[in-house]
Structure 1
Amino acid sequence: MKVAALDLGSNSFLCLIVEGDKSGIKKVLSDQVKVVRLGQGVDKTGSFHPDALKRAKECLTEFKKEIDRHNVDRILAMATSAARDAKNGSELFKIGEDIGIPIEIIPGSDEARITFAGSTEGNLKGDENVIVIDVGGGSTEFIVGNRSKLHFAKSLDVGCVRMTEKFITAQPLSESEKQAVENSVDIALDSILSEVQKYPATDVLAVAGTPSAIAAAEIGKFDAEKVHGFILDQGKLQKWCDILASTSVQEKIEKYKIESGRADVLFVGATILHRFLLKMNKPAMKVSIKGVRYGVALEVLRR
C-alpha cells in the first residue's frame, strides 16, 4: 500500500510518501518539508494569521501534486499545537478538504505514541529506554519509552516560534532577551526533570527541524545521510547557541546556510536542546530526521 503522511506543525509542514503494510514502512518514495510558519501570531491573537493560512494553502497544493504523482492509496494529515490553539482552526480543515487532504487533530492521548513510534522507527534496539525531544513551533514534546512501553510524555509550551515572538525583538540578541529565553526554558524543563530522570535512558534522540538544521550547519550543508545519526554534544550546542545569539538573521542565512524560514527561530530551538542536556547531565544527543510524519505513516498502514 502507498500512503501519504503529513505533519502540519506550527513552523513546518512535512509530507512523507511511503510504501508499506501492517508490519511497517518498506520504502520511502518522497519526503518533503516546507517552512510555513502556521503558528505566526497564534500565541498573541489566538487565531491563524491570514498570511499563514495563505502559505498553508500554497504548501498543501504543492504537496497534493506530489501525492497525485505517486497514486497513493491513502492520505492522512495530522495537525498539532497551533491547530489546537487557534480559534479559527476550522479554516485550516476547510483548506485541506478543498484540496483533497483530510486533516485530523492528533488526540492528546495518541500524540506521544505517534511521535515516539515515528521518531524511533529503525532506531530502537532491545528494551533500552530512549528519550525523544521534538522541538516544534508552538510546543516541545518530551517522551521516554522503549520498544514495548511509553513511561512518560509531556508537551511543554516552549516552542521556537512561540518563544521567539514572546521574547526576541531583534537579532543579534540583547543579553537580557537571551537570559529571558534561557530562564523561561529552564522553568519549563524543571517541571518535568524529576519524572524524566525516573527512567534511565541510553540515548537522547532529537527530532524535527531544529536539530537537523544545527547538524546541517555544523556539516556545512544538509545531507540526509550525514544529518541522520549526527551527534550533537554539549560543546557543539553551546557553540551554536552563542553563534545564533550573536548574529543577525541575514548572517545566519548567508554565512551558516540556515534556511530563511528557520533562521530567526533557531536560537530558541538550540537553547531548548542545550539546556535539556545540561539539566539531565547527558553528554550528547543523536539527531533523527524522522518524526511525527513517520508515526502518521505507520498509523495509516496499521489502520
Structure 2
Amino acid sequence: MIAAAIDLGTNTFHLIIAKSDGGERGEPEILFKTNLPVRLGEARINQQEIIPAAFERGLLALEGFAEEIKKHNVDAVKAVATAAVRSAANGQAFVDAAKDRAGITIEIISGEEEAAYIFKGVEATGLVTDCSLIMDIGGGSTEFIICKPGEVLWKHSYNIGAARLMQGFFKSDPLSAEEKEAIIKHLDTELPELFKQCAKWQPQLLIGSAGAFESYAAMLNPGNHNASIAITPFRTLADKLFKSTHDERTKMEGLIPLRVDMIVMAALLTNYVLDHAGIPELKLSTYDLKIGVLYSLLKCS
C-alpha cells in the first residue's frame, strides 16, 4: 500500500508519501517528502482570518502536492488541517476551495486529535521509555502530551502557537523586556493545568516534536543534528535569541528563514515550560504529526 499524509500547519504544509511493507510493525519506506512555507496564519491568525495571499499560497501548494500524489500512484490520502484552518472564519471556505482546485479532501482536526497524532508519531521514534512530556510548538497552537510507553496519560492543545504569540506581543526589535514580561503573564494564565498534571505524573523527559526543536538542534550542533539537546546550552541559546535583532538572527547558522522571528517565541515558551515543569532532560523527536497521520493510514504500530 502507498499512502500520502498531508499536514496543513499554520506555517508549513508537509507532504509525505510512503509504502508499507505489509507487516504490522515494519518501518514504511519513504518515497517522497517535502514541505512548503505557506504561512497560512500570516498577519491575522489572532483575528481568525486567512488573508487572501495566504489562502492562495495554500491552494497552490496543495495543487503541487496533488501532482506528486498522482505521480506516485497513491492508494490512500489523508490531509489534516490544524489551528490556522480550524480557528479561521474562512477555514471551511479554504477546505472547499482545496477540494475544488486540488481534488484534496481536508479534515479539520481538533486540538485533542492533533495531540493524539503527535503522540503516535513521536512514539514511533522509541524515545518514550519512561514518563515523558511531549511538546509540539506550532504556529497557531502548542500541544502537550504526558505519556508513558504505549499510553497517553493526559493531553491538551493550547492556542499559544509561535505565530499567535508573535502577532500578539512581539513588536520590538529585539524583543523588549516589557513584551517578554507580557508573554510570561499570558502563559501564567494559560498553562496552570499543564503544570498541575506535570506535578501529578512527574515526567522526567521533555520531548520536543520537530519544528522549533529541530532548529535548536541545528543551531547547537551544526552538521550533527542528534536527538539530544542539552538544557544548559539551550538556555544560553535562548538568551542569545531574546537579545538578538531580526538581522542578527538571519545570519545564525542552522536557523531557517521561516523561523527567524518565531524562534524567539518558541524559545521563550520552551524556557517557560522547563522552568515550571522541573524536567531535567530535553530530547528532539524528528517524527511529529505528519508521521502519526501516515502511520495511522498504514496501520503501523
Q: Does 1:229 align with 2:227?
A: yes
In the TM superposition, what is the alpha-carbon distance from 1:39 to its structure 2 partner? Answer: 1.4
- Residue 89 of structure 2 corresponds to 87
Alpha-carbon contact 2:112-2:156 (below 8 Å) kept: no
What's the CA shift for 1:228? 4.9
The residue identity in structure 2 corresponding to 1:122 is T
Q: Deviation per CA, 1:21-78, whole angstroms, max 9, x where unpaired?
A: 4725422222322222111234442211111112212222332333233222111110
| Residue 121 of structure 2 is aligned to residue 123 of structure 1 | no
Alignment of 1:61 with 2:59, yes or no, is: no
Stretches of 4+ moved more than 6 A in 1?
A: none
Corresponding residue SS for 2:191: helix
For the pair 1:101 / 2:99, whether they are aligned, the reply is no
Query: Contact between 1:42 and 1:82, CA under 8 Å: does it hold in 2?
Result: no
8 A Cα contact 1:215 1:232, kept in partner? no
CA–CA distance in structure 1, aligned partners of residues 210 and 11 of structure 2: 10
Deviates more, 1:81-90 or 1:95-104: 95-104
Match of 1:220 among 219, 222, 227: 222
Q: 2:296 aligns with which of 295, 299, 303?
A: 299
Post-superposition Cα deviations, 1:157-212, rounded to whole Å, max 9, x if no partner, equal 21100000000113211221122223323433333201122123342210131111
So what's the TM-score if we normalise by structure 2? 0.90
Q: Is the 8 A contact 1:22 1:301 kept in 2?
A: no
C-alpha distance in 2 between matches for 1:148 and 1:174: 42
Q: 1:112 aligns with which of 111, 115, 139?
A: 115
Quote the RMSD (CA, aligned, Å): 2.1
Distance 1:228 1:66 in 2: 30
Do residues 14 (structure 1) and 10 (structure 2) align? no
Q: Secondary structure of 1:227's match?
A: coil
Structure-2 separation of matches of 1:180 and 1:129: 32
Q: Distance in 2 between matches of 1:113 and 1:72?
A: 24
Gaps of 5+ in 1: none
Identical aligned residues as a percent: 29
SS in 1 for 2:172: coil
Matching residue of 1:240: 237
Which residue of the partner structure matches residue 171 of structure 1? 173
User: Would the aligned equivalents of 1:9 and 1:38 in 2 still touch at CA under 8 Å?
Assistant: yes
Report the counterpart of residue 184 of structure 2 in structure 1. Answer: 182
Q: Aligned partner of 2:16: which letter? A: L
Distance 1:44 1:26 in 2: 38
Partners of 2:187 and 2:253 in 1: how far apart? 25
Aligned residue pairs total 297
Q: CA deviation at 1:17?
A: 1.4
Equivalences for residues 142-221 of structure 1 within 5 A: 142-220=144-222
- Report the counterpart of residue 28 of structure 2 in structure 1: 26
Go from structure 1 to structure 2 and tell me whether the alpha carbon gap of 1:297 and 1:87 turns closer, same or farther (over 3 Å shift).
Answer: same
- How far residue 257 of structure 1 moved from its aligned partner, in angstroms, is 4.2
SS in 2 for 1:75: strand
